[in-house]
Structure 1
Amino acid sequence: MPNHVVLFQPEIPANTGNIARTCLATNTSLHLIHPLGFSTEDKMVKRAGLDYWYDVTINHYDSLEELYDKYPEGEFYYVENFGDASFVDMDYTNTSRDHLFVFGRESDGIPHELLQGLEERCVRIPMTDKVRSLNLANSVSVMLFHALHEQGFPGLIK
């Protein structure tokens, strides 16, 4: 699986459940950075993921550093509304490398201090100034399906 979705301290169980379902539909691993704002036993997570929750490849970490240790050669992309580059400006076609798309908390994203020195890896989804951000589950879908499109939708029914 060259693509991975990373949720940094997600807060809303329904978003995480919906993202888990998208991950299963796209053969994508889901990585959760703790602490979570809910229990993974929460009925809202299970309801949003329906009966798919237990079929998703889910990995848990206590910190981003723990994730970095597991994927030292990974291509990390931090999806934030302050990124200088549009997500479509990056090249996701090298499927021999892991692509890890990192999304922040629903309330305030990824803390800026964790991204110091990584600014060139921060990407944004273009939108108007009428909203602060898109819904987390929608952002994951936009980002992931764009990368999959560039990769030719490997292993997916077209």
Structure 2
Amino acid sequence: MDIALYEPDIPQNTAAILRTAVCFDAAVHIVGPAAFDLSDRATRRAGLDYAATARLKRHTSFDNFKSAACGRIVLFTTRGTASLEAFSFAPDDTLLFGRESAGVPDAVHDAADAQVRIPLAPGARSLNLAVAVSIGLWQALSTTHQLNPKGPS
């Protein structure tokens, strides 16, 4: 299971997502350009002790990312047609999340293999990106029986 971030805006969210990914043994794809410095030095600094063990992959464009992706690209979006709890994840899915400020453009939305939404209370607009990634990754890993595959329960 992989995570992909489309042109992320906020470095602190990306750092929190890297930490989550390391804890759950997921790779993170950054589909650029990001709104902040993604050099190795900056990534190590932002990710603290988790950056050294993170499986971080950088892509210069969505097309480059799409050609490198294995399995389905599952976009998390407020416009999702499938609800998170009803969606059937596969072990090789890549969970794609849009920019904090703008989501993804229509072309990326349409290019995804599936569009999933996290159900929210009436009137709630959206979740913080790092929180949405955590919820989506947890659900995907638990429903594909990949949760904590190597460690104690």
Same-fold call, TM > 0.5?
Answer: yes
Amino acid at match of 2:107: E
Query: How many residue pairs are counted as aligned between the two chains?
Result: 149
**Which residue of 1 is the match for residue 85 of structure 2?**
88
Trace 1:127-142 onto structure 2 (pairs within 5 A).
127-142=120-135
Given candidates 114, 117, 121, the residue that maps to 2:108 is 114
Quick check: 1:17–1:46 contact (8 Å CA) kept in 2?
A: no
Trace 1:23-62 onto structure 2 (pairs within 5 A).
23-40=21-38, 41-42=41-42, 46-47=45-46, 49-62=47-60
Distance 1:50 1:90, change over 3 A: same
Distance 1:117 1:58, change over 3 A: closer
Given candidates 143, 147, 152, the residue that maps to 2:136 is 143
Q: Distance in 2 between matches of 1:63 and 1:157?
A: 38
Q: Distance in 2 between matches of 1:99 and 1:83?
A: 16
Structure 1 residue matching 2:51: 3-state secondary structure: helix
Q: Distance in 2 between matches of 1:156 and 1:147?
A: 18
Q: Distance in 2 between matches of 1:23 and 1:134?
A: 18
1:99 aligned onto 2:74: no
Q: Distance in 1 between matches of 2:35 and 2:133?
A: 18
Structure 2 residue matching 1:116: 3-state secondary structure: helix
Superimposed CA distance per residue, residues 89-140 of structure 1 (whole angstroms, 9 cap, x where no aligned partner): 2212x43xx210000000010112322364x711100002433210000000
CA RMSD after TM alignment: 1.9
Residue 87 of structure 1, CA deviation: 1.6
Structure 1 residue matching 2:52: 3-state secondary structure: helix
Instruction: Note the residue ranges of structure 1 that are not aligned, 5 or more in a row.
Output: none
Quick check: 1:8–1:110 contact (8 Å CA) kept in 2?
A: yes
TM-score when normalising by structure 2: 0.88
Residue 7 of structure 1, CA deviation: 0.1
Q: Distance in 1 between matches of 2:83 and 2:151?
A: 25
Instruction: Note the residue ranges of structure 2 that are not aligned, 5 or more in a row.
Output: none
Amino acid at match of 1:17: A
Amino acid at match of 1:10: P
Tell me the percent identity: 30
